[in-house]
A and B are shown apart, each in its own frame.
Chain A
């Protein structure tokens, strides 16, 4: 059975509220959803809640999903992001402070960034201001353009651009300040004559 046929079968089962089909579909997409949720949520338990709420919403409103309009994974990803904005940020307002004067601080180690592992990157993202982090995620990782981000966050496209620039500067500074690069690169760097 091809993957597409399998997903269609699962969707049919989910429409009939068949728990076996719901479970199978959940297990198929849970990891992908978690890898997205962990980038937005502040910690693992919050990410789990977000994943659970995403699947709940999807199963309850499965009739709204039209396979002709996109892949199921992309749909679930959008549901998760919408859920995050709708539920987890309810009553809060994203703060987009005016750009602090951040010097263009290119890292001393151009290759250092390339050596960062996913866990390191996640750690860095968690330390970004929330507005910057969300825009960085939406633009860099999810691939939304600034207009789409502006629509989602009810801000202008230029504000989104500005926050992205700020996020990048902060990330570079953090990398520089903390020496977050692999030991191998570190050794190479330190072995260079000063």
Chain B
């Protein structure tokens, strides 16, 4: 029978339309492909923030030397043997002389002064652009003319016909950190400085002529009133800045406060291979029963387009466990009023005496132990809607920087015996890995205009708390409430 069944079933072909399954298969495969991307999407905000921070930090420091305009390059070529901080090339004659020395520079410079093209190229000579304090110069064909309005494209730096510069020399101290302040000193015969390039005009075409360089002493700028000199140092990345700035309205800052109360359980790991000792420790486990976990947090964060959020702040966790143990006590009582009699044959003697009565009592003691954890959380949230309900899924880590423990424990020694120990330093719990975890789901209710009330169900896992041969973590299934207050609205 077996062989027959096997042969028949193995050779059996089912009559079915296998091609009908193909569309389903294709659809499911495309779903699984896209789900791969979603799995890692939580990394995006962190990467974005890191990139922005890195860009902000490094681009302003290095932007100057990498993005010097062509004019400076030519000048630098012509004066590469001179001092790095140029003082003055003086009159037109001096310029002409330089041109004669270096025809390439002359050609390039004359091209630069043409009215239609001025594309910045990388600087070859870094002498003219030190990191912290730059003094450079600009040469102009015409002298003693005020700066006039210059129209240009921020991308191509195309110089328009009406552009010209004053003939005054100016030594520019450029703040390499960009936004902030700069100063210009006058008193020379020719305008000097990187300002001579086309990049010296703000992106929105602001009039350069409005700055009287001759008497300019101190100018302050706001974030959106970008100083000309700053643009000089960061023009190639200007589009990125614009993108970042344009994203700002999509990021909503908020403050989040909340509290949770949890049912707690514990997971333990024994760091000894002595099985007898482990058995004794295990038998002692039931004396300590995790009880509650109370959590409190105050965070600040950003929410992107009401969907993704990232928050950090401060959190406090209090974990309580009850410790039950039996305590044996010996009670001795002096009884002064004892009367008895001694019968000795026909004689009976009455005695009045004092005796000590010893009584041994065992009592059950219940003590509450408490862990206090202070931590910095980093939490990522994703908001979604199902029908009319709005939810937010949250996942996060917390770094515990402080831990305190009050309590009594029945400490079992490896050498044998045990002892009730209360708050002894040498038997204290220590934070081992300091990282705790959280996974949660909250339901969001709008309250008080634009504020939001959260009701959350959360799973929490504490950092590893270590004591001698025991590593333990507390786990919590928590219910909580929170309030999120959007800022800047």
Residue positions of A touching B, CB distance < 8 A: 17, 19, 22-23, 26-27, 30-31, 34-35, 38-39, 44, 47-48, 51-52, 55-56, 59-60, 113-114, 116-119, 121-122, 140-141, 143, 168, 171-172
Contact = CB atoms under 8 A, between A and B. Distances in A.
Contacts of A52: 21, 24-25, 28
Interface residues on B, range: 20 to 34
Contacts of A26: 18, 21-22, 25
B355 interface: no
A122 B24 contact: no
B16 interface: yes
Contact of B13 (A35, A44, A114): A35
Given A116-B4, A141-B5, A141-B6, A122 B28 contact: no
29 contacts: A19-B29, A22-B25, A26-B21, A26-B25, A27-B19, A30-B21, A31-B18, A34-B16, A35-B9, A35-B10, A38-B14, A48-B16, A48-B21, A55-B25, A56-B25, A56-B29, A56-B32, A59-B29, A113-B1, A113-B4, A116-B4, A116-B5, A116-B8, A118-B8, A118-B9, A119-B12, A121-B9, A141-B6, A141-B10
A121 B14 CA distance: 13
A35 B12 contact: yes
B25 A121 contact: no
Contacts of B12: 35, 118-119, 122
B33 interface: yes
A169 B448 CA distance: 73
Given A34-B16, A34-B18, 12 more contacts: A17-B33, A19-B29, A35-B9, A35-B12, A35-B13, A44-B14, A52-B24, A56-B28, A114-B4, A118-B9, A122-B12, A143-B6
Contacts of B29: 17, 19, 22, 56, 59-60
A188 to B, nearest CB: 18
A118 B11 contact: yes
B2 interface: yes
A17 B36 CA distance: 13
B279 interface: no
Shortest beta-carbon contacts, A-B, top 10: A118-B12, A30-B18, A118-B8, A34-B14, A113-B1, A140-B2, A141-B9, A38-B14, A114-B4, A56-B28
Query: Which DSSP category, helix, strand, loop or mixed, fits chain A's interface?
Result: helix
A27 B21 CA distance: 10
A168 to B, nearest CB: 7
A60 B24 CA distance: 15
Contacts of A35: 9-10, 12-14
B210 interface: no
A20 B487 CA distance: 52
A117 B19 CA distance: 26
Contacts of A117: 8
A121 B16 contact: no
A140 B6 contact: yes
Contacts of A48: 16, 21
Contacts of B24: 52
Interface in B20-51: 21-22, 24-26, 28-29, 32-33
A39 B9 contact: yes
A64 B6 CA distance: 29
Contacts of A44: 14, 16
Nearest to A27: B18
Which of A26, A44, A118, A172 has most B Cβ within 10 Å? A118
B19 to A, nearest CB: 7
Contacts of B6: 140-141, 143
Contacts of A19: 26, 29
Contacts of A55: 25
A126 to B, nearest CB: 12
A187 B392 CA distance: 72
A83 B98 CA distance: 82
Contacts of B2: 140, 168
A40 B152 CA distance: 75
Contact of B21 (A51, A116, A118): A51
Nearest to A38: B14
A40 B382 CA distance: 40
A153 B213 CA distance: 87
A26 B1 CA distance: 32
Contacts of A23: 22, 26
A116 to B, nearest CB: 7
A56 B35 CA distance: 13
Contacts of A119: 12
Contacts of A59: 29
A121 B13 contact: no
B31 to A, nearest CB: 9
Contacts of B26: 19, 23
B20 to A, nearest CB: 8
Nearest to A22: B29
Given A48-B16, A141-B10, A60 B5 contact: no
A141 B10 CA distance: 7
A22 B25 CA distance: 10
Contacts of B16: 34, 44, 48
Contacts of A140: 2, 5-6
